[in-house]
Amino acid sequence: MTGGPVIIVGAGHGGYQVAASLRQAGFSDRVCLINDEAHLPYQRPPLSKAYIKGSAGPESLMFRPEKFYADQKIELIAGRAVSIDRAGRRLHLASGEMLDYGHLVLATGARNRLLDLPNANLPDVKYLRILDDSEALRKIMPSRTRVVVIGAGFIGLEFAATARIKGLEVDVLELAPRVMARAVTSEVSAYFQARHREAGIRIHLGVQATSIEAEDGRVTGVSLSDGRHLPADLVVVGVGVLPNIELAAEAGLPVAAGIIVDEYLSTADPDISAIGDCALFASPRFGGSLRLESVQNATDHARCLAARLTGDRKPYDSHPWFWSDQGDDKLQIAGLTTGYDRVVLRGDPAKKAFSAFCYRGDKLVGIESINRAGDHMFGRRLQGMDRSITPEQAADESFDLKSALA
């Protein structure tokens, strides 16, 4: 078991879960959670959907009330980490405070990739990553009529669907030839493109914004690379994220497209680990290194690390899964749907419920399910057993999926 205090930098899903899991496992030394936001640790997924749509306050998002942290003796420290003294095993905060650690956990997450365009810094140009972003959008949307969403990934499309439900005119720009191109199969992209267009959202593919137009500091529209101009009084940007690796890099830890960790989530310094969106982790299962942006990955990383710090040392080997709620449709993904060479559909897109089974050769690598939660749960269980079914079985609705789990 690790001796000395565990200091956790970052209070998102991963950071919170490390602290909670350490206490659940009986860790009795000091646990500190460094939080650079003015809120208790909270859930992120509702920020682009239910939270903007509804009227519930920030407390509805919190993992636990303040009393939980006091009862569990988890110290919440409001502040920002600025440097690591690895030799002295000490973390320096912007306030000047210094914290000694037995083990340091970097759960620093990721930040929005910013637009580099004229007028991109105007108040009517918003991003969506943290609670304050969602609050700002919720306040401004009732006084806005037309939004241009830049980026057709999960966040952009989730927000676009929410804005349309709230009555705004919505245009979505995407440089790729289809929506969510890096995340899902073309079959699933085509379904969502059709569904969003049915809802009245205008999707513009193969174009990018060249400038944001404004008068007297207020956004009036967006100019496109094909010469068109879209009127708008609000712009929401979702063009991906950058992992927060600077604290690690400045401490001399190896970084690349994330903070480099091994299959135990340890950095090159045995007293420092990294988890969640910021971690580029070695994956024997997938062969090579991965950096995944998901609640599941952050939470499972945290549990794996807390177990190691309390004496149960095992490599991280969870099966990834993801989800996205867009309008009335729920997309759930089991596995990593990359590197496939065949897609088999089960169910009927016309009936708004189907799954895309993705194969590499005869091996099932992932399942993308739309409004078919049973297929998704089947996929997660099947992958957990390291089994597969044939493409013919996947396509045959009369084949009982549960029989493959027996």
- Each residue of 350-374: pLDDT tens digit? 999 999 999 999 999 999 999 999 9
Contact 253, 268 (CB under 8 A): yes
Picking from 117, 312, 66, the residue whose alpha carbon sits closest to that of residue 58 is 66
272-274, strands of its sheet edge to edge = 74-78, 31-35, 6-9, 103-106, 272-274
pTM of the model: 0.96
Q: Do domains 114-239 and 328-405 have the same CATH topology?
A: no
Specify the pLDDT at position 140. 96
Helix, coil or strand: residue 73 = coil
What integer pLDDT is reported at residue 388 of this predicted model? Answer: 96
Total Cβ atoms within 10 A of residue 377:
15
Concatenated DSSP letters of 75-128: EEEES-EEEEETTTTEEEETTS-EEE-SEEEE---EEEPPP-STTTTSTTEEE-
Running along the chain, 406 residues long, what does each successive block of 10 average in pLDDT?
92 98 98 97 94 89 97 98 98 98 98 96 97 96 98 97 97 98 97 98 98 97 98 97 98 98 98 98 92 97 98 96 97 95 97 98 96 98 96 97 95
User: What CATH class is the domain 114-239?
Assistant: alpha beta
Sketch the domain layout of the chain as residue ranges: 6-111+242-309, 114-239, 328-405
Closest CA to 93 of 35, 144, 150, 146: 35
Nearest-CA neighbor of 404 among 380, 369, 372, 370? 380
Report the alpha-carbon distance of residue 171 to residue 235 in Å, rounded: 10
Collect all residues with Cβ–Cβ distance below 8 Å to 350 and sequence separation of at least 6: none
- The C-alpha atoms of residue 168 and residue 149 are separated, in whole angstroms, by 12
Superfamily of domain 328-405: FAD/NAD-linked reductase, C-terminal dimerisation domain (3.30.390.30)
Rounded Cα distance, 48 and 50, in Å:
7
Residue 274 belongs to what H/E stretch? Answer: strand 272-274
Look up residue 252 and give its DSSP letter: T
Phi, psi of 360 (to 5 degrees): -115, 105
Q: What is the spatial distance between Cα 223 and Cα 231, in angstroms, rounded to a whole number?
A: 9
Nearest to 332 by CA among 362, 304, 359, 294: 294
pLDDT at site 128: 96
- Residues 81, 93 contacting (CB under 8 angstroms): yes
Q: Is 48 helix (H, G, I), strand (E, B) or coil?
A: helix
Q: Determine whether domain 6-111+242-309 maps to CATH 3.40.50.300.
A: no
Please tell me the predicted confidence (pLDDT) of residue 285. 87
Residue 62: the pLDDT is: 97
